Structure 1
Amino acid sequence: MKLEGKAWKFGDDISTDHIAPGRLFHLRSNLEELAKHVLEDADAEFPKKVQKGDFVVAGRNFGLGSSREHAPRIIKIAGVSAVLAKSFARIFFRNAINVGLPVLICDTDKIDVGDTLEVDLEKGVVLNKSKNLTLTFSPLPKAMLNILNDGGLSSHIKKHGDFKLE
């Protein structure tokens, strides 16, 4: 499973409030509309300029804060193919996999805004095409890849039945 797109760079401690601004709480039942504001409190230009297939690239502790499942969901709705970060808040990581959004733990220091990336989820490789640089990450377990390939946990269970992860 290979993904390709442009990098959007964010720093450390990007919270679920940065991802899904709390002032827009009333849009929780309209995720398509809420996705038009994804990460705007961290970068006002991001929701206007992000393209299908692009990557969110961040530092440490991405997704900290409340366990709102709509945070990773609106990142996915906005067209982001994966989030790469040095570390993730545990609940955000799990919610992201459950909604079918790949989240990859890797060193993001050598990725800059606008770099073109190619990510191989199975091999655990990030090719920074802009810098001709290869980065690695621990490949996701087969069970997680199966969930992602099926579009998230709900779709996976509908397809295979309860708790059949392989």
Structure 2
Amino acid sequence: MNFTYFLIILVKLLELKNIKRREFLSNVCPTVAFAIAGISIIEACSKDENVDVSEQIQGGFTVEGNIVRIDLEDSSFSLLSSQGWMNFTSQQILLLKLGPNSYRAFTNECPHRGNRNSWTYNSAESKFTCSSHNNSYPSDCLSDGTAGGVLKCYSTTLEGNILTVTKS
């Protein structure tokens, strides 16, 4: 049932009870307006459940405790070569290629609200942006972002084609 039909039914019911239109509008309209706008506003500020709808990477890495070893030659990690970064959602890591033999890794948890799957990277500004609230975070591991602080960095080492990320 759409909103117009709802109002028509309410008006008909109120006519049966002999309530004047002005009285009806002054009593009902604020409630209806809040119901329509208020829920949207409250929902917009709620914390995302971070349901990962992206394809999970099945191979090309191993995990031992807090250490993740990534085979950079595996096709699952081709985004690192083509776009220079990727959100490795199953391990909750953002990976960034700085150069031919240099990588950085970060938590993919936004410092502002904890979202994990809404990231983009701006290479011109060297910043990750969480599109949930458009907050950006420098990739230098030192500078505060626009909200919530610094994007947490993890240590990385590269041996051959194996990138090791130590989450701490």
TM-score between both structures, scaled by the size of structure 2: 0.29
| Structure having greater relative contact order (Cα 8 Å, sep ≥ 6) | 1
Structure whose residues are more often strand by fraction: 2
TM-score between both structures, scaled by the size of structure 1: 0.29
Higher Cα Rg: structure 1 or 2? Answer: 2
